[in-house]
Structure 1
Amino acid sequence: MSTTELLRREWITFRRPARLIALGAAALAVIAVGLLSAVRNQSSCDGPCPAVPVAADGSVVGDQFWFRHRDLGPEGSITVRLTAMTGTITYPPPNHDRIVPGLVPWAKAGIIVKDGVRPGSRYAALTMTGAHGVHFQYDYKHDVAGSAAAVSQQSPRWLRLTRSGDTITGSESADGRQWHTVATAELDRLPDTVQVGLFATSPGDLTLSRTGLGGATEQVRFTQAVGVFDHVAVSGTGTWISQPIGEMNNTDWEKYHHASGAVDDNGVVTVSGAGDIGPLSDQGARTVENTLSGLVVALIIVLVAATRYGARTAREAPARPVVAARAAVVGAATFVSGLVATGIVVPAGLAVIKANGIPVQPSPVLTELRVIVGVAAVLALCAVLAYGLGVWLRHGWAAVLIGLSVVAVPQAITAFPLLPDPVSEWLLRLTPAAGFAVQQTLVEYPQVTAHYAPSAGYFPLPGWTGLAVLCAYTIVTVRLALGAKPADWR
């Protein structure tokens, strides 16, 4: 019998109503739970929500700072001396009962060239940070480290940005005479007149609160950064304008104690600000992963159905080619049902979230296609793995229990802040659940302080590496199934 005929015969054997219903239920779970989750994503603003900063590439970004600026033409520069950088952190651990002086690591004070004052517009900035020295950052996602020196009145830092057409160059100096180029950026299609000036901003103070069996949840508190500048020299024109980019001065600290803003005292300019300029936004933007909340339910259904079919195959003791053909049929059928489900829920779920007024991080078409096909492939591989377990162990419910323990349980519990982050990360490295990394679209940025953990949607392995781990488990399990008790095979 040819391979094609064998596969056709085994497909006919497989397509019993109970198994087709199971695959349909798994697909329906992905669609129904995903769409229900999307519908429940509702705006919580009292009245119209503030405009969300959107960068030139369509991504939702953070763009909130205090800006003292003036016009700059196609050629020109700004040079300043930063003599002090201080800040405030509100109610930090352990007691959350005091407001203390201090800077979070990525607080920023420095100089910036920006395409207007619209949040999300293009920019290049040279900044002193709270704990990482000088950095040149541009267009939200790009970051180049300069010197690691801190700043004080005894050790000020000179900063310079130079514009030549679309080219922005950032330079720093310890004495204002010998300059070192930190980096250069090309900001295509900048208008003839841009805004240049001084800025300050400070992201929230992120700490982790222990919960469950050692898991962690995020706590973020308001902070503010203050930069003191002198020797401000700008080749631009016009008068200085001082204004916030994004909303500011809404907290009690700013209202009653120290408002964000800029003050010029005989050439010494003090700029205070809060917020962040960077690729991750505090606006709660959703991603492709938010449409796949039904994946765990579908996975359980697939594992149970495939494992029981494997155990039934073992009892029949067919020839090895039949076992292999049935494994292929199980994988193909699961892949098709998964592809239909994810192909529906991903675009439909994102459309529903957008219609509810929730910002969505855009993904390239190829990225969405990778997620859709990748998740379907993961479900298919999990089904084949479960089928192999059933054949190998020959006891349906025992195989079901093992399949759920090594695949579904790690995938489910790591999605919540239950276990310590290192434990969750190792579970997603060492178990077949590593394959679910194919759904990740979130990116970890070193210049952004965030909770980069599985419970926050960050897998420890790249997508295709995780898929390779799952493939390895599946291959080993199928080989064990094919080699199980040779005397029993015909």
Structure 2
Amino acid sequence: MSLLRAEWTKLRTVPGLAWCLLAAAGAIAAFAVVISSGSPGTFGGAAYVDEFRFVHRPLTGDGTLVARVRTQDGGHPWAMAGILLKQSATPGAPYAALMVTPGHGVRLQSGFTTDLAGSRRPAPRWLRLTRAGATVTGYESADGTAWSTVGTVTLDALGPSAQAGLFVTSPGMTRVVPMRPALVRIRPGSATFDSVRLETETPQPAAAWRGTDVGGPADRSGPAAPDPDGAFTLTGSGDIVGRTDDGSRIVAATAGTIFGVLPIVALGALVTTSEYRGHAIRTTLAASPRRGRVLAAKAVVAGGAAFAAGLAGTALALLVSQPLLRRQGFRPPVYPDPALSDPAVWRVVAGTAAFLALVAVLGVGLGAILRRGAGTIAVLAGALLVPLVVTPFLPADAGRWVQRLAPLAGLSLQQVRESDDALLLPWAGRPWTGLAVLCGYAGLTLLLGYAVLRRRDA
């Protein structure tokens, strides 16, 4: 206990260390206020996202649309390429979509809520939609001969005449929490279709294929024609999904973590290296020759102080951001009020504090190895921030694993309801795995720091 008291006294009296704690808590709370005070109505509006590239023609009465998705290029697991029946080429119109996705296989979706799973096979894949009155059935095939049923949906509002065709889209910001202050790569999806045919029960009026960016600029609609070999190549971005609570009202309270982590980096580094500047480390080790205990005490005090600062800053950010978010359109029923009884809320708040605590421990261990404040801060800040900078420019799979294996993996504790890996939110659905990665880095750094401290003279 005497060692802990001594280290706590040093933390309170060494110039700058207390300010690091205040700066970390203040940065988290201040950024929550800034990001929660956007333009009114920014995130209000329709309860769905309906944005995609659509190459279509009219279908009157019953009929069957067949196409093969020959190739698909989309970095997002929910990039979509497939065939679609839609009441009209306008956002929100009733629809049935049969698609191939890179991460979730074949899906039949309707009404922004119905989602029926087919096989897990990616492109190339044959797809078929058959309309019989208000009933639409989706089929898939590997060769265009042997078909298996994906599912059936009922569209009473489809009307006697609908639009049938091909579509492509790929989520960017739509399935990434919009509150997160990170560079998010929005890469359109693209796909090539061939063997496209529309079979009808009754004669149809002559009509050419037309391309429309549904949910996009009206002036980007116009005639569409296949390639010389009869294939269609489409490129589009957006999403087809109902808006649900994506956790934005909770994430807003933690969006400033990436800024609050920098003072904690300095805190962890200076707790150790400040004693080497004036050779005070000799006095410390003379008073307590067991060097492992000295390093452990520094880690406990720095980690505990960082945890307290992170907890206070995140809790304050959560409280002050909620009325601001409600004013900007983040209100029920799409965005329910966060409940303090929700375990996910407590995990996010306490997890943010735990992330900062482990970063401080990393700084303590690295400081014992390098013994230089500037060098320790530079190395640790680089380890935390360089993956953030380079990830958007890497291939999707490589970027995902960079996030999962870097110290920033600890931020996975801030997941609320994200279904796919997002920037700064790796290990989708497994938030504690990211914490384990960061714990591993902190433990390894402390062990190396202890080994160096034992072998070197103070």
Q: Root-mean-square deviation (CA), in Å?
A: 5.3
From the superposition, tell whether residues 400 and 106 of structure 1 become closer, same or farther in structure 2 (CA, over 3 Å): same
Counterparts of 1:82-93 in structure 2 under 5 Å? 82-83=64-65
From the superposition, tell whether residues 429 and 222 of structure 1 become closer, same or farther in structure 2 (CA, over 3 Å): closer
Q: Give the aligned partner of residue 145 of structure 1.
A: 118
Counterparts of 1:303-342 in structure 2 under 5 Å? 303-312=265-274, 315=281, 316-317=284-285, 318=288, 319=290, 320-342=292-314
| Runs (5+) with no aligned partner, structure 1 | 55-60, 70-78, 88-103, 164-168, 208-214, 233-246, 259-273, 446-451
SS in 1 for 2:28: helix
Contact preservation (8 Å) 1:389, 1:477 = yes
Kindly state the Cα deviation for residue 299 of structure 1 after the two structures are TM-superposed.
1.2
SS in 1 for 2:329: coil
Q: Given the alignment, which residue of 229, 240, 247 partners 1:277?
A: 240
Kindly state the Cα deviation for residue 442 of structure 1 after the two structures are TM-superposed.
6.4
Letter in 1 for 2:306: T
Q: Give the aligned partner of residue 296 of structure 1.
A: 258
Structure whose residues are more often helix by fraction: 2
From the superposition, tell whether residues 173 and 397 of structure 1 become closer, same or farther in structure 2 (CA, over 3 Å): closer
Q: Give the aligned partner of residue 47 of structure 2.
A: 53
Letter in 2 for 1:31: A
Q: Aligned partners of 1:251, 1:221: CA distance in 2, in Å?
A: 20
From the superposition, tell whether residues 118 and 34 of structure 1 become closer, same or farther in structure 2 (CA, over 3 Å): same
Kindly state the Cα deviation for residue 84 of structure 1 after the two structures are TM-superposed.
5.1
Q: Give the aligned partner of residue 325 of structure 2.
A: 353
Q: Aligned partners of 2:417, 2:20: CA distance in 1, in Å?
A: 31
SS in 2 for 1:82: strand
Q: Give the aligned partner of residue 385 of structure 1.
A: 362
Q: Given the alignment, which residue of 440, 448, 452 partners 1:480?
A: 448
Q: Given the alignment, which residue of 11, 14, 26 partners 1:14?
A: 11
Q: Give the aligned partner of residue 81 of structure 2.
A: 106
Kindly state the Cα deviation for residue 50 of structure 1 after the two structures are TM-superposed.
7.6
Counterparts of 1:74-89 in structure 2 under 5 Å? 80-83=62-65
SS in 2 for 1:136: strand
Kindly state the Cα deviation for residue 470 of structure 1 after the two structures are TM-superposed.
1.0
Q: Aligned partners of 2:304, 2:188: CA distance in 1, in Å?
A: 46
From the superposition, tell whether residues 111 and 12 of structure 1 become closer, same or farther in structure 2 (CA, over 3 Å): same
From the superposition, tell whether residues 249 and 295 of structure 1 become closer, same or farther in structure 2 (CA, over 3 Å): closer
Letter in 2 for 1:140: T
Q: Aligned partners of 1:444, 1:343: CA distance in 2, in Å?
A: 25
Q: Give the aligned partner of residue 219 of structure 2.
A: 252
| Runs (5+) with no aligned partner, structure 2 | 70-78, 173-182, 203-213, 225-236
Letter in 1 for 2:389: I
Letter in 2 for 1:438: L
1:127 and 2:88 correspond: no
Contact preservation (8 Å) 1:382, 1:474 = yes
**For 1:100-141, what per-residue CA distance to the aligned partner results, in whole angstroms no more than 9, with x for missing partners?**
xxxx953432489xxxx9959xx9956366999963336637
Q: Aligned partners of 1:161, 1:370: CA distance in 2, in Å?
A: 49
Contact preservation (8 Å) 2:31, 2:255 = yes
From the superposition, tell whether residues 355 and 141 of structure 1 become closer, same or farther in structure 2 (CA, over 3 Å): farther
Q: Give the aligned partner of residue 438 of structure 2.
A: 470
Q: Give the aligned partner of residue 410 of structure 1.
A: 386
Kindly state the Cα deviation for residue 150 of structure 1 after the two structures are TM-superposed.
3.0
Contact preservation (8 Å) 2:310, 2:356 = yes
Contact preservation (8 Å) 1:411, 1:436 = no
Letter in 1 for 2:31: V
Kindly state the Cα deviation for residue 52 of structure 1 after the two structures are TM-superposed.
1.6
Kindly state the Cα deviation for residue 182 of structure 1 after the two structures are TM-superposed.
2.9
SS in 2 for 1:477: helix
Q: Given the alignment, which residue of 416, 426, 449 partners 1:459?
A: 426
Kindly state the Cα deviation for residue 275 of structure 1 after the two structures are TM-superposed.
7.7
From the superposition, tell whether residues 83 and 424 of structure 1 become closer, same or farther in structure 2 (CA, over 3 Å): closer
Q: Give the aligned partner of residue 72 of structure 2.
A: none
Q: Aligned partners of 2:8, 2:448: CA distance in 1, in Å?
A: 23
SS in 2 for 1:51: coil
Q: Given the alignment, which residue of 432, 435, 438 partners 2:413?
A: 438
Q: Aligned partners of 1:356, 1:179: CA distance in 2, in Å?
A: 48
**For 1:152-198, what per-residue CA distance to the aligned partner results, in whole angstroms no more than 9, with x for missing partners?**
xxxx65467999xxxxx956499xxx99553589xxxx9xx964666
Q: Given the alignment, which residue of 353, 358, 363 partners 1:376?
A: 353
From the superposition, tell whether residues 83 and 391 of structure 1 become closer, same or farther in structure 2 (CA, over 3 Å): closer
Q: Given the alignment, which residue of 23, 27, 47 partners 1:25?
A: 23
Contact preservation (8 Å) 1:158, 1:173 = no
Q: Aligned partners of 2:249, 2:396: CA distance in 1, in Å?
A: 22
Letter in 2 for 1:34: A
Q: Aligned partners of 1:467, 1:179: CA distance in 2, in Å?
A: 45
Q: Aligned partners of 1:106, 1:347: CA distance in 2, in Å?
A: 42
Contact preservation (8 Å) 1:35, 1:348 = yes
Q: Aligned partners of 1:382, 1:489: CA distance in 2, in Å?
A: 26
Q: TM-score normalized by structure 2? A: 0.63
**For 1:407-439, what per-residue CA distance to the aligned partner results, in whole angstroms no more than 9, with x for missing partners?**
2x2354257x46665664444233322222332
Kindly state the Cα deviation for residue 381 of structure 1 after the two structures are TM-superposed.
0.1
From the superposition, tell whether residues 412 and 348 of structure 1 become closer, same or farther in structure 2 (CA, over 3 Å): farther
1:397 and 2:379 correspond: no
Contact preservation (8 Å) 1:312, 1:391 = no
Letter in 1 for 2:454: P
From the superposition, tell whether residues 249 and 437 of structure 1 become closer, same or farther in structure 2 (CA, over 3 Å): closer
Kindly state the Cα deviation for residue 400 of structure 1 after the two structures are TM-superposed.
2.1
From the superposition, tell whether residues 136 and 489 of structure 1 become closer, same or farther in structure 2 (CA, over 3 Å): same
Kindly state the Cα deviation for residue 384 of structure 1 after the two structures are TM-superposed.
0.8
Letter in 2 for 1:82: T
**For 1:442-486, what per-residue CA distance to the aligned partner results, in whole angstroms no more than 9, with x for missing partners?**
6356xxxxxx763xx553664322221110110011122233343
Q: Aligned partners of 2:101, 2:390: CA distance in 1, in Å?
A: 32
The number of residues matched between the two structures is: 382
